[in-house]
Structure 1
Amino acid sequence: MTKTRLIAALVMAPVAIAAILLLPTPWLIAAAAVVFLAGLWEWFDLAEIEDTLSRTVLLVVHMALMVALVWASRGGGAGDPGQPPSMVLFKIASLVGVIWWLLALLWLQRFNFASDHRTYARMFKLAAAALSVIPAWCALTWIHAEGGNGHWWLLTALAVVWAADSGAYFAGRKFGMLKLAPRVSPNKTVEGLIGGAVAGVAVGVGLSLLAGATAAQLPWVALVSLVAVLFSVVGDLFESLLKRHVGVKDSGHLIPGHGGVLDRIDGVLAALPAFALGKAIFGF
């Protein structure tokens, strides 16, 4: 499995990095929307939305919301077509995402909440999907579009999550003894969390130098990277909770060795709003 995971990562990583660094923001956020909506489609499985028509309608609604956000934020107009797009709505959505993931901690403490497969449970899980996917996509847009080095900052934010995921995986396999959340995700350990945090912060600080961070900003970059890692763990655990409720191991089988799309972006969904907000607060 480790070899399969490695091969899949070696294929996906260059494509993702090239897209982040080379594509202009409109094309990148369109590509990101496809990935996020694919993860959302798998989320519908975890919410037990079985009817294809219902799933399609829900997907179209989320896509329409993304389009509406872009349209409402477009710059200028007939009088001033050169004005850049406004990021206000994307910033508000990112803040909403951070608040949602803090509330998700309460859900994680109540394993049986919305686990009885009734209509209200599906409604809670669909609301959670919208509060996870839309703010994360908005945060991605905000980071990439803002400033001359937005593409490098987005790569830094995502690399923090990727490094933390890999660090947690290998540290957990080698040293893991203390279970982090045994009922939600039995394989996650405290040692893995520590290893992931160290890896995520190290990569965040290193890549931030390429993004233009100054020496004085590095402590704040390290702090924001650590917070992003912790949020990514919440996102990972929350998806694990949803999978436990329906008795599945992976959200899908699209990516060899990695499960589904949602399995790959669960941490990203939670980390991106936290990183974007932290970056704005500390001004790097």
Structure 2
Amino acid sequence: MSTPSATRVRVIAALVMAPFAIGAILLLPTSWLAMLAALVFLVGLWEWFKLAEIDDTLPRTVLLTANLLLMVLLVWASRGSPDLVPLRLVSLLGVVWWLLALLWLLRFSFASNHETWARVFKLAAGTLAVVPAWCALGLIHASQPNGHVWLLIALAIVWAADSGAYFAGRHFGGRWFGGRKLAPRISPNKTLEGLLGGLAGGVLVALVGASIVGAGLAQLPAVFAVAVATVLFSVVGDLFESLLKRHVGAKDSGDLIPGHGGVLDRLDGVLAALPVFALGKELFGF
């Protein structure tokens, strides 16, 4: 349970970060936003390597450089593709990965030891989480019309889901489902009531945002469905990072952000949500 002072620090940090993130999304061209996002995502990946027990700086630097080169290669390959096919394929791969990650969550002890093979799985998981999410971010922002606003809506869905889950969990946790937890071995504080609160918050923001950006009434059911999937996948991303932390006995992925832990602690749900939102937006054409 957070203390009042810890909660205050958390809120202040969020209020400081939010204007910069929103301003970058709405004002920067896609190329510049993609570079800025790559920096943030790679910091999160650096923390992921720590959770995968890659403790030495040199191996982590080599692995990070390899992922950066993969991003550069994808941009280069997409320059000759008017439909940005390489980015779309990698984003779709991200959706497939998070479906597999759901199976991983059901097998709590998989890759939980400290052997080399377990690290390999977790390192591959890091690339499959971070690179497709970065591709999806670029695709959403570059989409026409109003791609920058749709990206803000996608992120706001995750932020609202986090806030809705926190509020519902604190006020209603344990009351509606007989005290049953969402994933007690992975994240004991998450409740089913919190999940419903997160769904309500994320869907509400999606529908309001879509209406503001000009989505027609006939498109709102599709927005609703994509928002539900986006929230659910963001929960999978959150739980997966919690699983990694449980395996190594860590509370946070880092301490870079006051009151929030590491960058990965803020990105976990976003990494899973963005490929799903990008795919849904593509399929339904909103």
Question: If the length of structure 1 is used for normalisation, what is the TM-score?
Answer: 0.95
**Residue in structure 1 matching 2:218, options 206, 210, 216:** 216
164-173 vs 41-50, which deviates more? 164-173
- Report what 2:149 is aligned to: 152
Mapping for residues 149-228 of structure 1, pairs under 5 Å? 149-177=146-174, 178-228=180-230
What secondary structure, in the 3-state scheme, does the structure 1 residue paired with 2:189 have? strand
Following superposition, the deviation at residue 85 of structure 1 comes to 4.9
The one-letter amino acid of 2:79's match is R
The answer to whether the 8 Å contact 1:143/1:153 transfers is yes
**Residue in structure 2 matching 1:118, options 105, 115, 119:** 115
The answer to whether the 8 Å contact 1:152/1:210 transfers is no
The answer to whether the 8 Å contact 1:149/1:212 transfers is no
- Report what 1:61 is aligned to: 66
**Residue in structure 1 matching 2:47, options 30, 33, 42:** 42
The answer to whether the 8 Å contact 1:74/1:86 transfers is no
- Report what 1:250 is aligned to: 252
Q: Sequence identity of aligned pairs in percent?
A: 70
Following superposition, the deviation at residue 222 of structure 1 comes to 1.0
**Residue in structure 2 matching 1:91, options 84, 88, 91:** 88
Distance (Å, rounded) in 2 between the aligned partners of 1:245 and 1:60: 25
Following superposition, the deviation at residue 270 of structure 1 comes to 0.2
Mapping for residues 73-84 of structure 1, pairs under 5 Å? 73-75=78-80
Following superposition, the deviation at residue 208 of structure 1 comes to 1.4
Mapping for residues 5-20 of structure 1, pairs under 5 Å? 5-20=10-25
169-178 vs 32-41, which deviates more? 169-178
The one-letter amino acid of 2:15's match is L
TM-align CA RMSD: 1.0
The one-letter amino acid of 1:234's match is V
What secondary structure, in the 3-state scheme, does the structure 2 residue paired with 1:188 have? strand
The answer to whether the 8 Å contact 1:181/1:188 transfers is yes
Distance (Å, rounded) in 2 between the aligned partners of 1:212 and 1:140: 21
23-32 vs 1-10, which deviates more? 1-10
Q: Unpaired segments of 5 or more residues in structure 1?
A: 76-83
Q: Unpaired segments of 5 or more residues in structure 2?
A: 1-5, 175-179
Distance (Å, rounded) in 1 between the aligned partners of 2:132 and 2:215: 25
Please give the per-residue CA displacement for 1:158-202, whole angstroms capped at 9, x wherever unaligned: 000000011111111111113110000001110010001000000
Distance (Å, rounded) in 1 between the aligned partners of 2:223 and 2:76: 32
Distance (Å, rounded) in 2 between the aligned partners of 1:281 and 1:211: 18
Distance (Å, rounded) in 1 between the aligned partners of 2:87 and 2:248: 32
The one-letter amino acid of 1:155's match is L
Distance (Å, rounded) in 2 between the aligned partners of 1:30 and 1:6: 27
Distance (Å, rounded) in 2 between the aligned partners of 1:250 and 1:211: 36
**Residue in structure 2 matching 1:23, options 16, 23, 28:** 28
Distance (Å, rounded) in 1 between the aligned partners of 2:82 and 2:43: 26
- Report what 1:269 is aligned to: 271
What secondary structure, in the 3-state scheme, does the structure 2 residue paired with 1:94 have? helix
The one-letter amino acid of 1:31's match is L
242-251 vs 205-214, which deviates more? 205-214
What secondary structure, in the 3-state scheme, does the structure 1 residue paired with 2:86 have? helix
The one-letter amino acid of 2:86's match is L
The one-letter amino acid of 1:36's match is F
Following superposition, the deviation at residue 210 of structure 1 comes to 3.0
The answer to whether the 8 Å contact 1:205/1:221 transfers is yes
What secondary structure, in the 3-state scheme, does the structure 1 residue paired with 2:79 have? coil
The one-letter amino acid of 1:257's match is G
Count of residue pairs the alignment pairs up: 276
Distance (Å, rounded) in 2 between the aligned partners of 1:209 and 1:152: 12
Following superposition, the deviation at residue 209 of structure 1 comes to 2.2
Please give the per-residue CA displacement for 1:63-119, whole angstroms capped at 9, x wherever unaligned: 0111111111115xxxxxxxx854111110111000110011110011111011100
The one-letter amino acid of 1:4's match is V
